[in-house]
Amino acid sequence: MSLEHHASESIYAAGKASPALAVTGATVAGVDLQTWVLIATLVYTVLQVALLVYNFIKDRLKEEK
């Protein structure tokens, strides 16, 4: 097997393991998974609202010109 094949297998294995490692690391750090999901949901919702407001204002300014 070539070195490139081993490198791609290692990257693939790391990609598969990263979500589990992130959850384990957050749990060990004292933050449970439910809190992280809540934080991620709140951040996503705020970003979606901000994008909606930005597009609305941008469209209104185009209409006024």
Same domain, 44 and 62: yes
Q: Which secondary-structure segment (H or E) carries 60?
A: helix 33-64
Same domain, 18 and 46: no
Task: Give the tens place of pLDDT for each residue, 8-36.
Answer: 777 767 666 677 667 777 777 777 878 88
Print the domain residue range for 21: 1-30
Question: CA nearest 13: which of 21, 3, 24?
Answer: 21
Task: Report yes or no: 33 and 27 within 8 Å, Cβ to Cβ.
Answer: yes
Same domain, 3 and 18: yes
Query: What is this structure's pTM?
Result: 0.53
pLDDT of residue 45: 97
% of residues, the chain, pLDDT over 70: 77
The domain total for the chain is 2
Same domain, 37 and 62: yes
